[in-house]
Amino acid sequence: MQDKKSPKRNSHRLWKRMTLGGLIFCLCVAIGAIGQLALAKVLPHERSAAPTTTIKTETTKPGKGAQEPAPTTQTPPEQPSSEPKMPRPRPYLVANKHLTNLRSSNPATPIYDRYTLTERTEKGLPLALPYIEPYTEQKVAYLTFDDGPDLVNTPKILDILKEQDVPATFYVLGCRAQENPELIQRIFNEGHAIGNHSYDHNYDTLYSSPNDFLWQILYTDEILHGILGVRPLIVRAPGGTSSMFTDEYWTMLDENGYAIHDWNVCTNDATQEKPNAARQLEYVDVQTNCPKNGNAAIVLMHCTADKTETVKALPEIIRLLKQKGYTFGVITPMTPQPY
């Protein structure tokens, strides 16, 4: 016979088992939570982002009246420029309004004008140079280089002059100054004199009339003034005045305030002979034994791409002139004429 109370007993047993299971589950959860807390004290915390580095500098409290330093931000060091920085210009003399200060005690000091001829005319300032007593106190060699600047030999010549600490005069063409303004600036900055040698050296147009010659001089002045902020007062005629000038050219340039110089020592580096370095040195040696103006040796050379032998000869020419007792100067309005 079946027991009538068995269903109640079964449900009672099931409830006990469920209660016991719940207690066991709660106990497990509690034990797990305790374990996680214990592990958290031992293991390092993870970071979601990469660490950042902060540079701290020691600061002191400013004294009375002092200003707190402004906060600064560190930046990477500036990368060196691929172009060399130009040195600051060496001393040079700038003509005054009335052109009355053009004689220097130092023949190696270049002289320029801050005004172009057009500006002088517009301002009603004098154009013609006053009489300037030539410099004759000592023997001076004036190294002059025509027809540049170019990118081949002009920099090499400048390097030699810098190494020897010798100034020179560069009679430049306006068209080449336009092409190589950085070399014009370097010549100027390194203490050499810059002279006007016309715009394009084209005899057919340059010597068709005095006005055409003057136009090239004025145009080149404007180019140089645009690069340097000053313009030269010295001019050299392509081919030389003795073979190219008439009285009209002399009068025109005198009235407009230009000092013109030829030469009395020549390396012949622009002749058909095309002498090598040794031969050029011989020419300078012979011609400086008894120059036409004993105290002023004005040496004609060129600095264009085909004058490699001139570059080779230059250090020996400098050595020779020093040995003969010459100092070195630059052409200015006070430089004596070579004849």
Pairing status of strand 193-196 against strand 169-172: parallel
Q: What are the beta bridge partners of residue 265?
A: 299
Radius of gyration of the chain (CA): 42
Determine the Cα–Cα distance for residues 186 and 203; give it in Å rounded to an integer.
28
146 in catalytic set: yes
* 333 closest CA partner among 125, 89, 104: 104
Tell me which of 201, 254, 302, 306 is the catalytic residue. 302
Determine the Cα–Cα distance for residues 184 and 69; give it in Å rounded to an integer.
44
Residues in the chain, how many? 339
- Tell me: cis bond preceding 149? Omega within 30 of 0 counts: yes
Determine the Cα–Cα distance for residues 185 and 249; give it in Å rounded to an integer.
30
* 267 closest CA partner among 255, 254, 277, 258: 277
Task: Return the H-helix or E-strand segment holding 328.
Answer: strand 327-328
192 in catalytic set: no
Cα–Cα distances (Å) from 277 to 150, 171, 284, 326, in that order, read 20, 22, 11, 21
Tell me which of 146, 150, 262, 269 is the catalytic residue. 146
Report yes or no: 240 and 201 within 8 Å, Cβ to Cβ.
Answer: no
Q: Annotated catalytic sites, by residue? A: 146, 302
